[in-house]
Structure 1
């Protein structure tokens, strides 16, 4: 039996974190850790070792792009799903920048993220799609 996928959520909106956690738990057996600040997520990253990072782009103090740059510099080798309430052009630009940093982006999604879209992305991450 495979160990549950470790997923690190980063969003400054506690309601969005709760919504994502509820969706993830309804979709499978995942070990989920959530952070509302990029610096907290960076501190958790080495010990938690997530296979998937779900990251909002619009964050206070350190934005999502800066966070992803820091994640890449730590050698993060897992998958990334980008979230944003901004327009699709911002998501595409962030996806290109993150990919250029060596990160593996499996999705760049608008908020709120639909449960069916999350399910499809998880299937890709787990190799079942």
Structure 2
């Protein structure tokens, strides 16, 4: 079933600081449908991650059964633990220093970077405004699970 297990990852670079002050992107990818969500971030903080999970995942698609994250502080903290308890889902952590353990979201982040390079202006500083366009291009590409 779609949106039962999602992988989460922050993209730390090679993003250029946007004209809006964004340096990072936070992404989630559904392991079944390959549907992806992403938002630009000025800072990677636990509050931003919790808000993203709540507003961009739970309130739109329902409560997942599992989320898979790395062991970074934005994902492994009491705020995320409370969110998991409140909505009754489990968090699984990928192995440290082994990014392939959360490979789907790693692959999506690489694709997102490539798509952003194609849609941003020459200055590359408007990527935070064009992330929706890159997501649309990704989502409308035919994949095995969506055929």
TM range (shorter): 0.3 to 0.5
The structure, 1 or 2, with the larger RCO (C-alpha pairs under 8 Å, 6+ apart) is 2
Of Structure 1 and Structure 2, the greater strand share is in 1
